[in-house]
Structure 1
Amino acid sequence: MKGLKFGSKIIFVINSLVAFLLLTSYILPYIPPKSFATLSVLSLGVPLLIILNVIFFVYWLLRVKKQMILSLMVLLLGWSYISSMYKFSSSSDIKDDANFSVMSFNVRLLNKFGWLPSKTVKEDIIKLVKEENADIICFQEYRRSDAIELEGYYNFNATYTDGVKGGQSIFSKFPIVNSGSLEFPNTYNNAIFVDIVKQKDTIRVYTFHLQSSGIDTDVEKLKNETSGHLFKQVGATFKIQQDQVDLFLAHKAKSNYKTIVTGDFNNTPYSYIYRKIKGDNLKDTFEEAGNGFGRTYDFKFFPMRIDFILADNDFTVNGFKTFDVKLSDHYPIKTTLKLSH
């Protein structure tokens, strides 16, 4: 740090810490939360760490200082992280007669407790869904007691189903020939699935809502939380998520059908949870055809993508869209797929 003024030295020390944290985050997808729960929490902050390293790089670059190399190298080493965070792809769909569309949306109980001031949230959600006319629609945090009715769709768990927890539902224009639920223990959360028939193909569709940390995202309320409590709470959540994902993977392994996985993962693309769900046989439809940050959760500090549509590698992704509509604390997503033969 020779030749730097005292203020610049302080900035470079902070820069070094931020670069080290981002570098450390690159190994997090390979570390089970049960092994290092506290460390796994760092995955939530990856978007912020990327943004900060870009700022530091530009700061030193404008001053023509060699210190810019630190953040540049760390960013280049994690280029896949950056490409996952922001996409320059075209958002227009590729037209094909074999296309079909899948939509996923955490509807936050259809605004049951009045989080949003609007009194027409349910009606606005139905209007959006009808306008988009997706072939498959997956809802999380759905209220069966205030059921949505969609003409022209088969459905599973849209109304009360014996032995199945509420919260998740699937609508499909294609016939549903099989369905079921994975009941996660000691929680209201679960995963449901349907097997649908599209022409001669049977496709399995999952949707789930993994354990939530329960942390309020309101800035003023967060100020009253200690960092130790936050880390402990989120770390405990990630351990529960790991158990839920293990149940899901065991169930998925018994199926030979081409698979689509949708839902609110309550975790980021930089986490162990995401990597295990995605595996080697699924691809992230946002990464294939998305545009921009792909933010799916209304988090005030930086763009967070915690809702996903993953599709079997045998699918071609011909489009992806994130909807900038304030009907929940999440944003709806939709992908256009084609099954390759």
Structure 2
Amino acid sequence: MRLLAVLICLIGTPIAAQTPAEAAKSAMRQLEEATARLDAADTARDRVRALTEAVQAFETGLAAMRDGLRAASIRETELRRDLDARDAEVTRLLAALSALGNTAGPKSFVHPDGPIGAARAGLLMASVTPALSDAAADLRADVEEASVLRQLQQDAANTLQSGLANVQAARAQLSQAMADRTDLPRKFTEDPVKTALLIAATETLDGFAAGLSQISENETDLDLPATRNRKGTLPLPVAGEILRRAGETDAAGVTRPGVLIATRPRALVTTPTAATIRYRGPLLDYGLVSILEPEPDILFVFAGLDTVFGETGEVLPEGSPVGLMGGPEGSPDDIQSPSGERAGEALSETLYIEVRLGDTPEDPLGWFTDDKGRTE
């Protein structure tokens, strides 16, 4: 009976599927595909778009790698602890299996009480033997899974190092490609004196937005795809998580009509639709800002950037890079850390998004879907 109790303890817990390992391996493949995209960008006709897609692919792959490796590390720790806690049961199991031998079966056991006792013993062993085999298989699977997870984490180090180096290179190449770009149409020419006067004369974003039309010269009519009829379906400009919604008060007691998105350091921000750059640069207490106009009387305000792309008056195609978030580039240790001590670094940057229709701010989440607002 004591042996049966041990067996129940051994086989009572089901083996978890190797989802963490599969997720980490999938992330490694994503990083390899992103590297191929970066290599192909050199010969692409639209190099800016190719580099944008490469950066986004690296960001997705690195986020998936972070989640996969963290889950793999946690799973491996659980398995190691479980195996350590089951030392006594493992010892008893090995002793029982050794006693049975390789070819043991019910007929191998002779009971001193004669045929009836032997029959009963045979029936007992007929039920015990499969349980012993199942327990041994479960144990072997746990040991093998722990070994696979450990090896996976070791193998991921080179892939991580390469992925981080390549995404840094891709961002640098993208910044240079945007600086060198000369094929963007221009809707107007900015008057820097009027821009400086407008900034000096306004104390709020409302006032600045209302005076944006004053800073332009030689404005032309350009037909851009309609944005109003896409309301509610536009992708968020950056991957992250919604930290604060429109109308919510922050820790300083300030309430703003936009949303705050927590992003990873150096995350790429793109325009959700074709739009004219109405302003780019520092503004009030919003930090570095890019204000886009997809069509007359609609403004998208992106604030909190570390780098901005394009020039005021240029028209960006849909999906074009607008800028980069700030923060450190990151390291393999940040991604591989299984505990929460580095969690603050994962989504440490914040992008403020405001949408204005005429002179009135609107809830940005009424314009954007939140599919891109969750990290992979």
For normalisation by structure 1, the TM-score amounts to 0.29
Bigger proportion of residues as strand: 1
Name the structure, 1 or 2, with higher relative contact order (CA <8 Å, separation 6+).
Answer: 1
For normalisation by structure 2, the TM-score amounts to 0.27
